[in-house]
Amino acid sequence: MFRIGCHISASGGYLAMGRRIDALGGNTFAFFTRNPRGGAAKDIDPADVDAFLAFCREKDIDRIVAHAPYTLNPCAEKENVREFALNTFADDLRRMEHTPGQYYNFHPGSHVGQGIEVGIAKIAEVLDQVLFPGMTTTVLLETMAGKGSEVGGRFEELRAVMDRVTLSDKLGVCLDTCHVWDAGYDIVNDLDGVLTAFDKAVGLDRLKAVHLNNTKNDLGAAKDRHEKLPDGKLPLEAIRRIVTHPVLEKLPFILETPNDEAGYAAEIALVWQLHG
């Protein structure tokens, strides 16, 4: 089953998110577990979750890709920032068990001058503290654009994190098309080569979701500026190859393009058309 969706506001609760993505023509979606800049999360209403799960079964909505707040930086130099990351991570993973078997995506973070090896070690240390036996959620490290001191601009960095984590079977990767292009991976002219490189570094079995974004930037710019699907540096034909590629097409595709809801509805329809 091909799955395409976008970010949905969580302000109305779970059932409202399910109804919203269905109205937009999608069958998967992402949401921020709390304000993307941080802060406390709303209490979960078990009745709302039950109604949402029933609605998803009826509409065949699956593969929720929850997103951690942008301020979560598990490899920060400042201990208070790492403490926020640890506490938020742990709380979010407990909350995710209300919707079993889904995904929780996060940006690996920025080492802010400590060095890539220190950053990798600190991320793994936090993951070791928040992952727990029996959890049904898969935690996804997102591929990054390599901007500044970001960790995750190279596939090998993601694998290095995984290799240091005890419960590494709870980890996967979300591939962001804007980020990998901006990081220098040519998914326009050599998609197969990029996927081969990913397989060699990480393993295709770890690839669980795709953030489907165009980009304002040239290949290797390391800037991370998303663009609407028809308007960026990635031609629509390249996007068609991505959504129809046999390695990728069974994964949930999440739009993170600069759109309002009408724009997302149009792009979801476009992706259905591209997929055929």
Rounded percentage of the chain residues whose pLDDT exceeds 90:
93
Q: How many helices (H) and strands (E) does the chain have?
A: 9, 10
**Whole-number pLDDT of residue 156:** 98
- HSE value, Cβ hemisphere, 13 Å, CA-based, for 101: 3
**Whole-number pLDDT of residue 148:** 92
For residue 106, the enclosing domain spans 3-275
Characterize the bridge pairing of strands 171-176 and 3-7.
unpaired
Kindly report the number of other CB atoms within 10 A of residue 92's CB atom.
22
- Token pair 């980890």 is at which residue? 171
> 209-239 burial by CB neighbour count: b if 16+ within 10 A, else e?
bbbbbbbbbebebbebbbbbbeebbbeeebb
- Can you give the CATH number for the domain in which 188 is found? 3.20.20.150
Q: Using 50, 70 and 90 to split pLDDT, how confident is the model at 40? A: confident
Average pLDDT (130-138) is 97
Provide the whole-model pTM: 0.96
**Whole-number pLDDT of residue 99:** 97
Output the six-digit token pair for 218: 């040239």
Average pLDDT (113-120) is 94
pLDDT digits (tens, 9 = 90+) for 143-182: 999 999 999 999 999 999 999 999 999 999 999 999 999 9
**Whole-number pLDDT of residue 41:** 83
Q: Using 50, 70 and 90 to split pLDDT, how confident is the model at 38? A: low
Q: How many domains does the chain have?
A: 1
Residues 6+ apart with CB under 8 A from 70: 36, 37, 107
Cα end-to-end span (Å), the chain? 12
pLDDT over threshold 90, residue 221: yes
